[in-house]
């Protein structure tokens, strides 16, 4: 139950793009075509699912105040949390490199679709943001951290897919010249973010209410996903 | 500009308007939007980026001949991360409340695309002095947009500037509020940041037709 709650919360309520504006740079730069957006989105899910749990372990056993106590009583009062930025970004950069090598070796077809995006991802704010939010929200277990990573990845994926589809269609509309391209994309994203704010009420009811709402949400999501998937096929 | 040659002055002036990192190069948007609900946070964020970008550009430029190109991304990340840790610790020591408001967004300066973008595009190919000017110029371009957005969001959203009420008292109904003016609480919500930036882009491109995209 806890997992399900965190999962939907990280997809809809705390959506990376619409609630915290993470990964906006690549979101704006790579959303001109649906097919490339899908590639980058998938790569983000993949990398978040790996780096968030990894950084959780790092945070729990190395960086937190007192985390080094497993090395003996002498180390119990060490506080290395000021190193977390540098450790997180180093983990992310090396993991991305490693994932790239492994994927290239074992699955050339996946590499062809994800490959060019992987290096881009090391500097995507969504990835580092995922780890930093995991740290500041004090997620309790490794399992929850994984769920959080995958959930936020899927949220980012949905966002970039939606904006890419809209941008492909908007080419046929008569946008004022000065707003064309970047300007209108910003305003659409703003409107989408307002739409996503309505999910905020999803987890706020009493216990029974939340349970009810969640089951509804479970039924809704697959259809939404298939709709989006269908859209992509048509677009391609 | 006696101190700077014409070419050097252009390094600072261009990013302020016609080559603005946010509205034209589309870099560094992530942090630009999330923290602009208050003017004070925008200003502190701008100063942090100014420091990181100015110093970082110089450091990378000094090391540009000894960094192997294969691992340059990692080297750049380490340099930025070190500078950001300094900023974070200074903020925690001297402006604790503010560092709580900025929360993870100070850390996210590391992945701010402006910084990596300027390292890659400029500092790796130019000398320290020019890189420094380029860093300062781009950080100022970033600051201009952040401060404009922060100004409008705080003014329209809560009727204050830097925490000081400028439109009168909403409860006592003095000043503008006496005429039935209300704060637009919507401006404080994050989606409005996107729309304000969208409008800035609109205004800028209407004034300068060369910037219009196809």
| Residue with more model confidence, B47 or B161 | B47
Minimal CA separation from B175 to chain A, in Å: 31
Instruction: Establish if A39 belongs to a structural domain.
Output: yes
H/E/C letters for each residue in A205-232? CCHHHHHHHHHHHHHHHHHHHHHHHHHH
Write the pLDDT tens digit of every residue in B139-197: 888 888 888 888 888 888 777 787 777 777 767 777 777 777 777 777 778 788 888 88
On whether residue B189 sits in a domain, the answer given is yes
Tokens for B195, please give them.
């729309």
- Is A122–B73 a contact, with Cβ atoms under 8 angstroms apart? yes
The chain B residue lying nearest A136, using CA atoms, is B104
Please tell me the distance from the alpha carbon of residue A140 to that of residue B211, in angstroms, as a whole number: 49
Q: Is B10 inside any structural domain? A: no
Q: Which residue has the higher pLDDT, A16 or B31?
A: A16
Residues of A in contact with B190 (CB under 8 A): 18-21, 193
The token pair that represents A67 in the structure block:
């985390």
- Those of residues 39-78 in A touching chain B at CB distance below 8 A are none
**A233, part of any domain:** no
Report the gap between the CA of B204 and the closest CA in chain A (Å).
8
Q: Which residue range is the domain that position B160 belongs to?
A: 25-204
Are B132 and B122 within 8 A, CB to CB? Answer: no
Give the contacts of B71 (CB within 8 A, at least 6 positions apart). Answer: none
Rounded to two decimals, the ipTM of the complex is 0.79
A225 pLDDT band (50/70/90 cuts)?
Answer: very low
Q: Which domain holds residue A42?
A: 2-207
Does residue B3 surpass a pLDDT of 70? no
Helix axes B128-158, B113-121, angle to 10 degrees: 160
Tokens matching residue A87 = 């450790």
Q: Is residue B18 part of a domain?
A: no
Looking up tokens 């850390």, which residue turns up? B107
Has residue B75 been placed in a domain?
yes
Residue A53 lies in a domain: yes
CA distances from A145 to A51, A58, A158, A188 (A): 10, 12, 20, 31
Check if A176 contacts B (Cβ < 8 Å). Answer: yes
Q: What is the pTM of this model?
A: 0.79
A147 domain residue, yes or no: yes
A102 burial (CB, 10 Å; 0-12 / 13-18 / 19+) is exposed
Say if A231 falls within a structural domain.
Answer: no
Q: Is residue B2 in a domain?
A: no
Q: Which residue out of B83, B117, B191, B197 would a mutagenesis test of the A interface target, given it has the greatest number of A Cβ atoms within 10 Å?
A: B191
- Residue count of chain A: 236
In a domain, B99, yes or no: yes
Count of the separate structural domains present in chain B: 1
Does a structural domain hold residue A222? no
Please count the structural domains in chain A. Answer: 1
């Amino acid at each position: 139950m806890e997992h399900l709650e965190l999962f939907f919360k990280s997809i809809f309520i705390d959506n990376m793009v619409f609630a915290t504006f993470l990964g906006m740079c690549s979101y704006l730069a790579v959303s001109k075509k649906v097919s490339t957006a899908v590639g980058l989105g998938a790569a983000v899910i993949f990398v978040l699912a790996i780096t968030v749990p990894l950084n959780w372990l790092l945070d729990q056993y190395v960086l937190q105040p007192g985390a080094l106590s497993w090395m003996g009583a002498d180390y119990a009062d060490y506080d290395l949390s000021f190193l977390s930025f540098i450790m997180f970004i180093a983990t992310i950069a090396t993991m991305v490199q490693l994932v790239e090598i492994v994927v290239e070796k074992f699955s050339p077809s996946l590499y062809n679709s994800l490959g060019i995006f992987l290096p881009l991802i090391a500097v995507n704010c969504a990835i580092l943001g995922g780890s930093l939010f995991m740290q500041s929200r004090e997620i309790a277990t490794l399992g929850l951290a994984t769920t959080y990573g995958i959930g936020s990845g899927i949220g980012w994926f949905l966002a970039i897919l939606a904006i890419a589809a809209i941008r492909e269609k908007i080419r046929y509309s008569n946008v004022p010249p000065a707003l064309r391209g970047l300007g209108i994309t910003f305003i659409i994203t703003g409107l989408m973010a307002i739409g996503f704010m309505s999910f905020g009420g999803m987890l706020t009811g009493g216990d029974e209410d939340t349970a009810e709402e969640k089951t509804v949400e479970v039924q809704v999501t697959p259809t939404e996903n298939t709709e989006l998937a269908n859209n992509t096929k048509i677009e391609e | 500009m006696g101190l700077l040659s014409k070419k050097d002055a252009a390094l600072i002036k261009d990013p302020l308007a016609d080559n603005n990192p946010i509205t034209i190069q589309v870099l560094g948007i992530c942090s630009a939007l999330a923290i602009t609900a208050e003017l004070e946070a925008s200003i502190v964020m701008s100063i942090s980026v100014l420091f990181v970008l100015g110093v970082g550009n110089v450091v990378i430029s000094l090391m540009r001949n000894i960094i192997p190109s294969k691992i340059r991304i990692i080297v750049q990340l380490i340099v930025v991360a070190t500078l950001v840790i300094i900023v974070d610790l200074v903020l925690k020591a001297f402006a604790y409340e503010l560092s709580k408001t900025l929360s993870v967004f100070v850390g996210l300066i590391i992945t701010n695309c402006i910084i990596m973008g300027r390292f890659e595009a400029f500092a790796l190919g130019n000398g320290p002095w020019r890189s420094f000017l380029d860093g300062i110029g781009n950080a100022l371009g970033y600051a201009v947009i952040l401060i404009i957005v922060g100004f409008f969001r705080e003014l329209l959203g809560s009727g204050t500037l830097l925490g000081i009420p400028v439109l009168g008292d909403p409860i006592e109904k003095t000043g503008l509020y006496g005429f039935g003016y209300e704060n637009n609480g919507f401006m404080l919500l994050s989606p409005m940041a996107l729309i304000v930036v969208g409008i800035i882009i609109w205004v800028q491109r209407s004034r300068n037709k060369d910037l219009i995209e196809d």
